[in-house]
A and B are shown apart, each in its own frame.
Chain A
């Protein structure tokens, strides 16, 4: 049985996705027959079989991601008679039955005929089932990830001499068998003196090696947690190392976070983009925020009626839909909030838009994205519902395109979905208004002098004070609130 492990088909790739299998279990394959198509960070690649025989195991399913060096497929090898490889790609029009032809003589040097071959094994590949005996085997597992775990595997102390060769041959190189930690000899010496097993110490060295600092920090922490118990395998403690450890144990010196107690997450992708946008917005547009509590009972009733109506069958109706419609309605009445502050060569100008590209902030697996519904003011309530549903589904699938996020004019952030009442949102860069829609829940509310339970929510918003003043913000927000209080106003 021969195992073909996922090779690094590029330079320094660490993994690949299985796109499609070209063979199935039980099928017989020849050398160089295409087994599988994989997709790496660089390209789609077809992997040819290194073996001739019968497929016995497919180790991964289509769509699965495999690390370089992981087993891909098992082939029970056929006899050596099958070993002549077939061309990986066809040679044009030269495949007819052959009879012997005298060697074509070249013009100059002697090698017009095939170069002489020194190896006596002319047509058979060496038995590949025992590659470790005669050759080092494939380069599977080279590359950044694999190297760090399989560099310099060692015999553990106490293992009998001579055993190691067999061990190394029998253990696939990529298996994470117990490996020796990397460290410089002086650090090893200190570790021996401290009775520390280096493989237990989290390494921070540039090449994955344990540094002296790593070792000291580990030794200090161990003293912290074990209450100064001396290492079992240790007779005498070197004075220099132990005094530092004692000082740490009794709290002398300043407290330092242990090296591994802080998770470092590189800032990239959506996180990086979000951070840049928020900094740019928060420090460019002076934000003013307003809030209003509103009795949204009629909105909840309206949503319920829409859900039951024939026209909205199969359409997802939520309170957010009414908020969206309310924002569109209010924006038409206070167009200044649907605008941009734009710096031109002649100085700043305010650009008020006659269209509304309504953005909805969405938390997705990739992070915060704000896709928008283009020309939302043109849509009927039903069309708007469909648009919001599509936009949400696309975002959740992580398929929101840059075009979907471009050219927004007003944004709604549905903080209620997170269970909170309100907040002070930061503007989507380039926009003048963002509306925060809080959670809707039953609260005591005074109606006609009576305290009654009503569905209450908080509508809040932040505005670019360069463009709009408090009165315009207040009018806009009050308009949104009034629709939530009485959706029938939308009819006007």
Chain B
């Protein structure tokens, strides 16, 4: 009895391949999975992260200028997102929360188009089928059961494929969520189903230390990764600010899932350096000392240090910054040119095919609109103002 009641382990191994000084550290287990990350690839990662951060800042500014209802900053989580996103294959399918802007970028989704959601004029703005990047889910953790269901379907689709075909064409699913979501029941259910059906899904948790204003230590007494054992799947705790390590472990996890060995849980330990959203003020619940403690662990800083130490010149960094500014200007131009949707359009996207009830409701709505005394010129402008 005594031994059964022994305390749960409060420590877990922590995978890091690039330390905060930019020094590449050797790791016998993970080095093979990081081998593909040469200097050129790493420069690509750096470009992704810089671009994501610049567009993130521009989007925050647009919210402050009244052009967006809300923005969810990703600052600090670039390595976790780019490392994971770049480990996926085109046939994989990814379920984001609402903060995975850098993942979106790696899937070819334009962040500018994503702003439709945050302007409140669309539920999406990009094509999940061609990008393999699902629409954002605003309800915490709700996407995790969806991801498992999708993975279960993928497994059925790939039934009977031989090993070679699976390696070539096989897909897997990544379910993104955060430490806050990990406290939700949906994540538990998703993990139970994933393991009982051996679904090809990677649970990728960005533990950014804060569930809005609730610190991680309030949510869990043990590292999240330790929960994986309870479901019977491998768990990996990785430095979420180390893009190389994240990339390596995610590649391994996706291959594990893809090859039919079942789900994997990855806890990427990172830090949300900004506010939870533009409606949040982190100074009310955490100290400046804590925030500054993560300055040196910044995900971009260590890659820059590494690249510079290995011969990448200033002109590369200058060009990246200039390119990011151009993209920021394009993002701004795109966002300012969004047309205002008409409410009538909403009736068109309920079903793929014509539907008698929806048609009836549309007719009713149009009649209702026409029922006002001042029925002339009932154009989109009026409806648009009604929805603002």
Contacts and interface: CB of A to CB of B under 8 A. Distances in A.
A11 B329 contact: no
Interface in A58-82: none
A73 B112 CA distance: 27
Interface centre among A7, A115, A151 (most CB of B within 10 A): A115
Contacts of B337: 119, 126, 134-135
A43 B284 contact: yes
B318 A94 contact: yes
Question: DSSP majority for the A interface?
Answer: loop
Nearest to B50: A91
A233 B313 CA distance: 82
A95 B65 contact: no
A97 B58 contact: no
B377 A87 contact: no
Interface residues of B, number: 90
Given A107-B86, A112-B44, A155-B377, A123 B329 contact: yes
Interface string A93-124: 11111111101111111111111010101111
A83 B372 CA distance: 43
A164 to B, nearest CB: 5
Interface string A185-219: 10010001000000000000000000000000000
A42 B277 CA distance: 12
**Interface size of A as a range:** 35 or more
A162 interface: yes
B382 A154 contact: yes
A87 B89 CA distance: 32
Interface in B11-67: 36-37, 40-41, 43-48, 50-51, 53-54, 57-58, 60-61, 63-67
A142 interface: yes
B377 to A, nearest CB: 5
Interface in B334-349: 334, 336-340
B138 to A, nearest CB: 12
A140 B108 contact: no
Interface centre among A46, A101, A110, A141 (most CB of B within 10 A): A101
A99 B314 CA distance: 9
B69 A152 contact: no
A42 B108 CA distance: 35
Given A136-B384, A142-B69, A92 B89 contact: no
B186 interface: no
A147 B120 CA distance: 15
A157 B373 contact: yes
A180 B53 CA distance: 44
Contacts of A140: 66
Nearest to A89: B57
Nearest to A185: B371
Question: DSSP majority for the B interface?
Answer: helix
Contacts of A123: 326, 329-330
Interface centre among B105, B318, B368 (most CB of A within 10 A): B318
Interface in A347-395: none
A97 B322 CA distance: 9
A165 B379 contact: yes
Contact of B330 (A99, A122, A135): A122
Contact of A192 (B37, B279, B317, B373): B373
A410 interface: no
Contact of A97 (B43, B119, B318, B325): B318
Interface stretch (B139-147, B204-212, B225-233, B296-304): B296-304
Interface centre among A86, A89, A192 (most CB of B within 10 A): A89
A104 B284 contact: no
B67 A154 contact: no
A173 B388 contact: yes
Interface string B238-270: 000000000100000000000000000000000
B281 A11 contact: no
Contact of B381 (A87, A114, A117, A165): A165
B58 A85 contact: yes
Contact of A87 (B57, B315, B373): B57
B66 A139 contact: yes
Contacts of A10: 278-279
Given A10-B278, A91-B321, A96 B314 contact: yes
Nearest to A160: B376
16 contacts: A4-B66, A87-B325, A92-B298, A92-B304, A99-B318, A100-B319, A104-B47, A106-B106, A111-B108, A115-B108, A139-B69, A141-B388, A147-B388, A152-B385, A155-B377, A188-B372
Interface of B: 36-37, 40-41, 43-48, 50-51, 53-54, 57-58, 60-61, 63-70, 86-90, 105-110, 112, 119-120, 247, 278-281, 283-284, 298, 300-301, 304, 314-330, 332-334, 336-340, 368, 371-374, 376-377, 379, 381-382, 384-386, 388
Given A114-B51, A159-B374, 19 more contacts: A7-B64, A32-B61, A84-B328, A94-B320, A96-B317, A99-B319, A105-B44, A115-B109, A119-B330, A122-B326, A126-B337, A131-B336, A136-B339, A136-B388, A151-B386, A155-B374, A161-B377, A180-B374, A185-B368
Interface of A: 4-11, 31-32, 42-50, 83-89, 91-101, 103-115, 117, 119, 121-126, 128, 131, 134-136, 138-142, 147, 150-157, 159, 161-162, 164-165, 168-169, 173, 180, 185, 188, 192
